[in-house]
Amino acid sequence: MSKLSTDSYKGVRDFYPEDQFIQNYIFGIWKKTLETSGYEEYGASILEPSEIYKEKSGDEIVNEQTFTFKDRGEREVTLRPEMTPTVARMVAAKRRELGFPLRWYSIPNLFRYEAPQRGRLREHWQLNADIFGVKTIEADIEMISLANMIMFAFGATSSDFEIRLNTNSGNMDELDMVVRILKSINITNVKIDPTLKRGQTYYTGVVFEFFDTNSANSRSILGGGRYDDLISLFSDDKVPAVGFAVGDVTMRDFLETHNLSPAYRPATDLFMVLRDNAQATVLPFYKLVYDIQKVGVNVATCQSDKDAGDLYKTVEKLKIPFIAFVDAETISSGELTIKNMQTREEHKISTKHLSEVKDIVK
């Protein structure tokens, strides 16, 4: 019987620990920056009725560029290709109960059935940030400024990207005002680009995109704009809204291009190896592990009589930075030796002063 392929589905990714580390780093920066600016996180299912996409994008796009199917009740369902229609639906559903201006963000995973290429896959995660209930350009300024803060939070400088603006309203006076205000708050890497067109049809005012200035990654990093009419799909009320989105794939490409990706460090700080299976040693060993964990050290354990060199190779593959061997003598002497896997330096500490372990491994 032939074996199943180990390949993932075309256009999606597996996240091994080092990949997940980068993903968590990106999400962490996004969350911290948004919450610092007063935005609240929301979420929703990946499944939406297909009509909310057909209404604005049309049958052809939905049928050809999304994962759309009929459920067992013969209802047409789509794996969400974007988040803005979903958040518009949610705001419309509780518009009488919500306090405006409303500042929300989410990091959904999204699906598009298209040819995978650099910066664009069939599944990705995306930060969506939106402000509802502000009809003046203060909201547009806030969105652009917030996106700029995110770029700087990753270590980028204003020379690493360019902010391009246009409008779907036909008001160039409005654009000039936006540019002047942005420059007054030291956001100077901005220009009006009459050729800029956002793909979605629901934008009603200022639109913007951040472009990477490095020729190795010459592409849009994030984009957004004003969409004052979208909530009218679900309600007679008109709620002004501005938002932007940035994908994890394009964000990671940007970080790698500009050498801004963090060095990987596993969550585990210390690998502790028990060398003795006698009950008199096993119980104190796990008590020692527990006490070390209590002082804030992440510990993985192993019971093995393998050669130390083999265990070093295992720990190096796991990329755990420190190792300690424990046997009956360790327990009786009350002295633990912790080895730095990178420098091979050894630290001897008393098991009566386990808080020192955190000082060594952190």
Give the domain range for residue 346. 270-361
Q: Is residue 285 part of a domain?
A: yes
200 and 300 in a single domain? The answer is no
296 and 227 in a single domain? The answer is no
Q: Is residue 357 part of a domain?
A: yes
Average pLDDT over residues 332-354: 96
Q: Is residue 6 part of a domain?
A: no
Higher pLDDT, 61 or 72: 72
166 and 308 in a single domain? The answer is no
Q: Is residue 12 part of a domain?
A: no
Q: How many CB atoms lie within 10 A of CB 301?
A: 13
Q: Is residue 252 part of a domain?
A: yes
Specify the long-range contacts of residues 10-17, CB closer than 8 Å, at least 24 apart.
Answer: 10/116, 10/122, 11/114, 11/116, 11/121, 11/122, 11/123, 12/121, 12/122, 12/123, 13/121, 13/123, 17/264, 17/266
Q: Is residue 113 part of a domain?
A: yes
Q: How far is CA 307 from the centre of its chain?
A: 40
pLDDT at 57 over 80: no
Q: What pLDDT score does 22 carry? A: 97
Provide the number of structural domains found in the chain.
2
Higher pLDDT, 31 or 200: 31
Q: Is residue 46 part of a domain?
A: yes
193 and 300 in a single domain? The answer is no
187 and 222 in a single domain? The answer is yes
214 and 286 in a single domain? The answer is no
64 and 185 in a single domain? The answer is yes
Q: Is residue 265 part of a domain?
A: no
- % the chain with pLDDT above 90: 84
| pLDDT tens for each residue of 89-143 | 999 999 999 999 999 999 999 999 988 888 889 999 999 999 999 999 999 999 9
340 and 315 in a single domain? The answer is yes
Q: How many CB atoms lie within 10 A of CB 101?
A: 15
324: pLDDT confidence band, cut at 50, 70 and 90? Answer: very high
Q: What pLDDT score does 199 carry? A: 58
The model's pTM: 0.92
| pLDDT tens for each residue of 247-280 | 999 999 999 999 999 999 999 999 999 998 888 8
Domain end point (choices 226, 257, 288): 257
296 and 205 in a single domain? The answer is no
| CATH number, domain containing residue 309 | 3.40.50.800
Domain end point (choices 257, 281, 302): 257
